[in-house]
Amino acid sequence: MKGGDKMKKILMFSAILSCMILMSSLVLAVSQEQGVNAAIAETISLIITPANLEFGEIIQGSTENVKPITFTAGEGANVNMNIEFTSVTNNGLFELMELETSTGIFTKITDKPDVSMPCTIADNVCTYTEKLVNAKLKVPAGYPAGTKTGVITYTITGPATI
């Protein structure tokens, strides 16, 4: 082997080795994008206390029977809420109930009064002020004696969504 051929082989080997070293240090990077979506639900969550509104023993003709109903937003609530007293059942007695939804103003439950619970945003969290409604049951003189039970139905709504 001649000296020139040997030198060519050494140069060729060095060039190949250099390319291999260079290629092994290259990192192949590919950029890809991914979309991300989230649907945040509007949530209505309400706690009504007491669970059973107890007027106790009432004297016929009495109008001094006032009991509180408290509305508290439940965990996860995140919209303005409106609470409507939709109906009350029991042979007419509880239809005589009146509700104080504003200070000093009593409204017949059959007029379907409502209570507004607006969501107030503070530190990106929806907060509510607890609402108190006073219920007054007027029992007319001569109303038949006995234990009476009924059910108040509420309709709780938030904003309409599209």
The domain that contains 124 carries what CATH number? 2.60.40
pLDDT confidence of 17, banded at 50, 70, 90? low
- 96 falls within a domain: yes
pLDDT confidence of 125, banded at 50, 70, 90? confident
Q: What is the pLDDT of residue 162?
A: 36
Q: What is the pLDDT of residue 18?
A: 67
Compute the C-alpha angle 114/117/122, nearest 5°. Answer: 170
The pTM (predicted TM-score) of the whole model is: 0.69
pLDDT confidence of 23, banded at 50, 70, 90? low
Of the chain, the percentage scoring pLDDT greater than 90 comes to: 13
Whether 85 and 101 have beta carbons less than 8 Å apart is answered as: no
Tell me how many domains the chain contains: 1
Burial of 16 (0-12, 13-18, 19+ CB in 10 A): exposed
State the average pLDDT over residues 109-132: 87
State the average pLDDT over residues 134-161: 85
Lowest mean per-residue pLDDT among 22-36, 39-53, 61-75: 22-36
pLDDT confidence of 50, banded at 50, 70, 90? very high
**pLDDT higher at 108 or 162:** 108
Task: Identify the three-state secondary structure at position 33.
Answer: coil
- 66 falls within a domain: yes
Strands (E), the chain: 46-49, 66-73, 81-89, 97-102, 105-108, 114-117, 120-122, 125-127, 131-137, 151-157
C-alpha–C-alpha distance, residues 131 and 159, integer Å: 19
Lowest mean per-residue pLDDT among 7-11, 94-98, 106-110: 7-11
- 139 falls within a domain: yes
* Structural domain boundaries, residue 56: 46-157
Tell me how long the chain is. Answer: 162
133: which residues sit within 8 A by CB, 6+ positions away? Answer: 68, 69, 70, 71, 99, 100, 101, 115
pLDDT confidence of 30, banded at 50, 70, 90? confident
Q: What is the pLDDT of residue 2?
A: 62
Burial of 58 (0-12, 13-18, 19+ CB in 10 A): middle
Q: What is the pLDDT of residue 7?
A: 72
- 32 falls within a domain: no
